[in-house]
Each structure stands twice: as structure tokens, then as C-alpha cells.
Structure 1
Amino acid sequence: MSAHHGHEHGSGGHAGHSHGVTADADRRWLAIALTLIATFMAVEVVIGVVAQSLALISDAAHMLTDAVSIVLALIAMRLAERPARGGFTYGLKRAEILSAQANGLTLLLLGAWLAYEAVRRLFDPPAVEGGLMFYTALAGIAVNVAAAWCISKANRTSLNVEGAYQHILNDLFAFIGTAIAGLVVLLTGFARADAIATLVVVALMFKAGYALVRESGRIFLEAAPAHLDPDVIGDRLAAHSSVAEVHDLHVWTITSGTPALSAHVLVEPVADCHTVRRDLEKILQCDYGVSHTTLQVDHAPENVLDVRTGGGPADDTHCEAAHGPVHRDEPHLH
């Protein structure tokens, strides 16, 4: 006997309206932040060139990646709302992960270029307008605080939105560093302070870029979410009184905040497959927050029951090419 079950949490029609309202609000807040950032960024590039300040230009470059991340977030939100059809059985929900990865790579590449320029300027510092640098950085702090506040109002469980938010916070710290450097140049004439501030910005860019590439890479490689341990989950399911074995257990992330799980579960001959499946789904949802599950539940063959009770040699031929470890609640292990 076999029971196949697939359940998509939150896919019911009744939730559509509230989700739509939330998504519209998210887009509105992101659009306001984008307008603030893009406008200030254009002004800052001009002032950076006039003041010959690489720190200001690097801040503007950082703001460019912020703007790109917000644009990609807005596009990804639109794509993710499209219904699943044809070959795209999950819809385009992973568009936001592509966006996050592109954002992270952009940060790393821009950071590398700015690091090179900053080191060059450490050896041969040009004359820098400290006053322009200082006052522009102060204005940048105000703009970033406003933009960060706007994005904090959006749904930050999205890797995309959270990525944009983290970038703007990083930018805020970078502007504080640039303001301090501008003040140093203004008061002491120490022009290398500009290059040093740039290297601080670059360090922040590398940190944010690496985190985004790593997290989006985990999702593309179908790794389990960082907060979920598949071995722990497998042992927990196998501990159910009617379960003989759990194998082919896969845990992955469809998109931010949407973990999914599939597994082959073998139950005792006297157990009811449907009841066990419902029990296991409840455990997965309540204990681990996984509501998108597909469980294949079958009655266990005799060889599995022998292994479980220690009465026979291990023989896992009941499932061809099983992936990953086999989980059994074996008494001698306790």
C-alpha cells in the first residue's frame, strides 16, 4: 500500500488577497528607497569626481549595487507571483535567489576594483577636497537612514529584501567612515585617509557579497536550510512508533522562507499508512516549520523489520539507489 502526498503551504485561494496587499506594500516601500538612493547616488558621483575622493566614488558604487538589488528585488517579486505552469512547476519563485546571487557577485567584483584603486592611492595620494567629502558623507548618512527605514517596512524574510536591507546598512557604516575620513582630511590634510576609508567600504562590500553568494549558492545546490539538520529530522520521523524506516530523505529550499521535504517512509504491516503520514506531516510542520512535504508511505518488507529488531542482516534492496542515510529507531542504539 502506498500513499503519496504533496502539500503546498499557503497556496489556498483565501490567502491570495492579503498576500497581494502585502506584496504591493513591499513594492511601494522598495520603490521609495530606490528613488532616494538613485537620486543621491547620481549627485555623489559628480561630487566625488570634483572632490577627487575615491571614498565618495566607492560609496556611490556601493549605492549602485543597492539600487540594482532593489530593482532586481522588484522584478523578482513580480516573477515570483506568476503561477506555476508548463515546465516551471514551482513557478519562478527562485528568481529572487538569482537576483541575490547577481547582487552578491556585483559587490565582490566592484569591491575588487575599488581595493586596487585604494591601494594605488595609498602610494600616490591625490589632493582631496575634505570639506566636500565630509558634507556629502553626512548627507549620505541621512539618505541611507531614510532608505533603511523604508526597506525595514517591507517583508525581510525574503533573501532579496534582506539582502537590499543589509547593503543599505553597510552603506550607512561606509558613509560614517567616509565622513570621519573627510573630517581628517579637512583638519589635518592627511589625504591617505580617503584611501583608508575606501578600504573599509571594500571590506564591508566583500562581507555582504560573500554572505549573499554563499546563501544563494546553498539554495541552488539544494542544500538543507542552515537551521534544519536532515539527520535529526530523519531520526525524529523514524522514532514514530509505527515507522520501521525512513530513507531517501531530502530537505531543500524552494525560495526564501519556503523549505521543502520529501522522503520514503516504511511502516509496520499493521499500521495505517494515511494516519502515519498525517502524524509525520504534523511533526514536520509543528516542530520544524516545514509544510511543503511529499511523503511516500509504504508497508515495510520483512527484511527491513528483521534489521530493525536485530534479527537479520541488513538488506536495503527494497529501494533502488536510495540517496543518503537510512534512519531506523533501533533499540540497541538507545
Structure 2
Amino acid sequence: MHHHGHSHANDDEKHEHPVTSRKRMLWAVILTASFMLVEVIGGLVSGSLALLADAGHMLTDAAALLLAFYAMTLSAKPADSKRTFGYGRLQVLAAYTNGIFLILLTAWIVWESIQRFYQPNPIQSTTMLIVAVLGLLVNLVVFKILHSASDSNINVRSALLHVLGDLLGSVGAIIAALIIWQWGILWVDPLLSIFVSVLILRSAYHVIKDSSHILLEGKPQELDNQQIRHDLLQIEGVLDIHHMHLWSISEQEPLMTFHALIQEDFKGDDMIDVMLEVLRVKHGLIHATIQIERSNCVENTEAVACVDTAIK
């Protein structure tokens, strides 16, 4: 026979993104979209593929940043009857989508660059240099705006990678403009475009890898399930920990469920409190669902109730 302790807390609380973070993202969208138009004009006037490629990249950047801003706004909404975990995973979906866009963009840049090797176009190096320098300044500002919020948010980090790709593109365009101005070597323009594309592709791979891991209910990278099990078994009265599952809604919301076999003379509710405290203090887990058992767990033999406790 199973005995189950119960303890409940409010599961509807969400980790909202600060309003300042959303404002920063909105400013990043406005700056990126505005300068994208400048680069399109500059690329057409100068004949530079590097500038046009960077303008195309900034177009996807503006879309990526807008998508990230929209996801940040929706993720702050509380859970409802249809989405009991809320909207936090929208940010992961946005990051994954941005990663796919990055790969498609780099494929286009590489293809255009190869064509330019065979059919080089005349380039106005002075116009190219001026626009590239302005682009570098704008990208540095946007990078600074987003960098402080990127460490713990895969959505912001994926948007930041777009901006980093733009920043590298601007540096490449400046170098290409100087070389063309000094020596007239036109093939350096598509060559640097390919180099920047490879760097962007590498970043896109990591964004897609990290977001896919979350979407596939993978274990949060920073958590060690064997160490968690070991720490729980050190609690007096805990005989076994099994059926452990670790996953996350977003990078900021790791979740865990497990069954705990305890000794008969220990109270279930007290044991739950102790286990939750260990999870919170030692591993930073703020939400765990625990099923208390007093005999070995036998699956599919009877309906059981679970304990759902969220730590503030």
C-alpha cells in the first residue's frame, strides 16, 4: 500500500522578464531596422556584396530581434487552462527559428560570394568604407544593449548572435573597403563575406543545438541527476529515489519529478519539506513534483496521487 504526503504551493508564479529588458530589445529592433535601410542604399551605390550581404543579415536580424521581443512579451503572460506551464517556451522556439534563419542566410551569402569570384563588380570603396564604419558603430551599440541580458536567456543570446554576425560583417566590410581602396583587389570583398558566413554558421549551430535540447525535454546542462540522487539519499529516512525526470520549460525554469521511498516511521510531509530544501539550496531547483512511497513502487497497479510543491 502506498502512502502519500501532500504539500501545495502556487504554481502560477512566473519569472517575468523585467520591463527594461523588453525596452532594450525594442531599441535594438529599431536601430537594426533603421540602419538596414542605410546599408541597402550604400551597398547598391557602392556595388559592394559585403554591404548588401550585411544588409540582408541585418534584415534577418531585425526580424529575429522582433521575434525575440514578441516572445519575451508573451512569455511574461501567466499560465492559463490551455497552457498550464505558461508561455515561457516561446522564447526557445524563437531561438530555434532564429538559428534556422541564420543558416539560410549564410547559404545565400556564400552562394552570392562564389558568383562574385567569377564576375567581380566595380566597387566604390569610399562609400563602402563610410557605410561599413557607421554599421560597426550601430552594431556595437545594439550589442551593448543586449549583452547584459544574454547570459541566462537563450532567446536573447540567439538574437545577440545575429548582432555579433552583423558586427563581424561590418568589420569585414571595413577591411575589404580599405584593401580595395589601397590595392584595388576586388575578390577580397566576397572572400571576407564567406569568412564572416562561416563564423555565423558556427554560432547558428550552437543556438539550434541548445534550443533543440530544451524542446526535446533534455536535462538542463547545469544539473547532475546522479549528484541530485546522491544528495537526496543522504537524507535520513530516504531509502530510494527512482523514476527521476529532469527537464526545463526555458533556461530559467528547470523542473523535476521523482518517486521517493521512505521509512515507515517518517512523516511524508516532513520528508517532502526536507527534500525540497536540499533541491533548492544545493541545486537551485525551484519546482519539484515528488511522489512519496512506503513500499517498492509497482507501476500500473493502482492510481496514485502526487505531491506538487513549488519553492518561492
The CA deviation string for residues 294-331 of structure 1, in whole angstroms up to 9 with x for no partner, is 11112134xxxxxxxxxxxxxxx62359xxxxxxxxxx
Aligned to 1:140: 135
- Structure 2 distance, partners of 1:58, 1:211, is 22
Aligned to 1:199: 194
* Residues 23 and 75 of structure 1, relative CA distance in 2, 3 Å threshold: same
Aligned to 1:61: 56
- Structure 2 distance, partners of 1:58, 1:6, is 55
Matched, 1:121 2:116: yes
AA aligned opposite 1:3: G
Matched, 1:102 2:97: yes
Matched, 1:250 2:206: no
Asked whether the 8 Å contact 1:157–1:257 carries over to 2, the reply is yes
- Structure 2 distance, partners of 1:245, 1:275, is 16
Q: CA deviation at 1:129?
A: 2.1
The CA deviation string for residues 20-41 of structure 1, in whole angstroms up to 9 with x for no partner, is xx63212221111211111100
- Structure 2 distance, partners of 1:93, 1:232, is 27
- Structure 2 distance, partners of 1:256, 1:47, is 39
Matched, 1:279 2:274: yes
AA aligned opposite 1:268: Q
Q: What are the residue-to-residue correspondences of 1:115-264 with 2, within 5 Å?
A: 115-154=110-149, 156-264=151-259
Q: CA deviation at 1:185?
A: 0.9
Asked whether the 8 Å contact 1:237–1:280 carries over to 2, the reply is yes
Asked whether the 8 Å contact 1:178–1:197 carries over to 2, the reply is yes
Asked whether the 8 Å contact 1:44–1:57 carries over to 2, the reply is yes
Q: What are the residue-to-residue correspondences of 1:288-307 with 2, within 5 Å?
A: 288-301=283-296
* Residues 178 and 240 of structure 1, relative CA distance in 2, 3 Å threshold: same
Matched, 1:318 2:282: no
Aligned length: 299
- Structure 1 distance, partners of 2:204, 2:8, is 35
| The one of 263, 267, 284 aligned to 1:268 | 263
Asked whether the 8 Å contact 1:26–1:153 carries over to 2, the reply is no
AA aligned opposite 2:152: T
Structure 1 portions without partners, runs of 5+: 302-316, 322-334
Matched, 1:34 2:29: yes
Q: Which moved more, 1:243-252 or 1:43-52?
A: 43-52
* Residues 173 and 98 of structure 1, relative CA distance in 2, 3 Å threshold: same
AA aligned opposite 2:174: A
Structure 2 portions without partners, runs of 5+: 302-312
Is the partner of 1:283 in helix, strand or coil?
A: helix
Q: Which moved more, 1:139-148 or 1:238-247?
A: 238-247
- Structure 1 distance, partners of 2:199, 2:219, is 27
Q: Which moved more, 1:226-235 or 1:85-94?
A: 226-235
Q: What are the residue-to-residue correspondences of 1:5-20 with 2, within 5 Å?
A: 5=7, 11=13
Q: CA deviation at 1:223?
A: 0.2
The CA deviation string for residues 224-269 of structure 1, in whole angstroms up to 9 with x for no partner, is 1111122222232223232111111111111121111111111122
- Structure 1 distance, partners of 2:10, 2:257, is 12
* Residues 7 and 130 of structure 1, relative CA distance in 2, 3 Å threshold: farther
- Structure 2 distance, partners of 1:194, 1:251, is 48
Q: Which moved more, 1:155-164 or 1:30-39?
A: 155-164
Aligned to 1:2: 4
Aligned to 1:77: 72
AA aligned opposite 1:32: W
Asked whether the 8 Å contact 1:244–1:266 carries over to 2, the reply is yes
The CA deviation string for residues 179-215 of structure 1, in whole angstroms up to 9 with x for no partner, is 1111111111110110111112211221221111111
CA-based RMSD: 2.2
